[in-house]
Amino acid sequence: MPRNRRPIDRAEKRDEIVAAATGLFTEVGYDDSSMAKVARAAGVTPTTIYWYFADKDALLVAVLDHLLTQALEEAAAHLEDPWVDQVLWAVERLERYSKLVTVVHARTATSPAIDEWHEAFHALMDTMLADGIIAAGAAADEVEAMTRMSVFVVEGLLTHPLPAAERRAIVEMILRPR
């Protein structure tokens, strides 16, 4: 039932909606989480959500931004870890949101907002991977190919999970400077 207790700051209300959508999108899935379900989980009316978000894709982008911000903050605690461990941490973090990874890839073809977010995410990840690969000692002429291969490996590990030892062996091999 919608709440009408006290006035809530616009940013606070937006955060509540994003939190509710995050829970539903990651647990139930994007397609099975209607705006009405998100509204119920956030304690608002469906109309209220549209005061904050143009459509469900805009809400998904807000959820993705929220999760990315959290992940980058958490990643800061791992900056001193070996590069392979940092990449494995990122894969494990992405696995928590496998339903969102799948929906983002599926919706890039039909949603300009999600496609734009996806492109920006890959640009950020490519930069972070390249920086880590350089710091790990890769030759300058190998960085671009190693970055591209790393993206393929990470996406492959997300769609085809492997036991931890096999995953580590693959990541170590792909990230080993030549």
Per-residue pLDDT tens digits for 58-96: 999 999 999 999 999 999 999 899 989 999 999 999 998
pLDDT number for residue 77: 93
pLDDT at 3 over 80: no
Query: For the chain, how big is the Rg over CA atoms in Å?
Result: 19
Would you list the DSSP string of 136-152?
Answer: TT--GGGHHHHHHHHHH
Task: Check residue 4 and give its pLDDT.
Answer: 55
pLDDT tens digits, residue range 110-120?
A: 999 999 999 99
Provide the mean pLDDT of the chain.
91
- CATH code at 57-175: 1.10.357.10
* Tokens found for residue 160: 């085809």
Burial class (CB in 10 A: 0-12, 13-18, 19+), 121: middle
Whether the CB-CB separation of 133 and 150 falls below 8 Å is answered with: yes
Pick the CATH number of 10-53 from 1.10.10.60, 1.10.150.20, 3.40.50.2000, 3.50.50.60: 1.10.10.60
Cβ–Cβ < 8 Å for 99, 30: yes
pLDDT digits (tens, 9 = 90+) for 16-25: 999 999 999 9
Residue 157 has which token pair? 């590990």
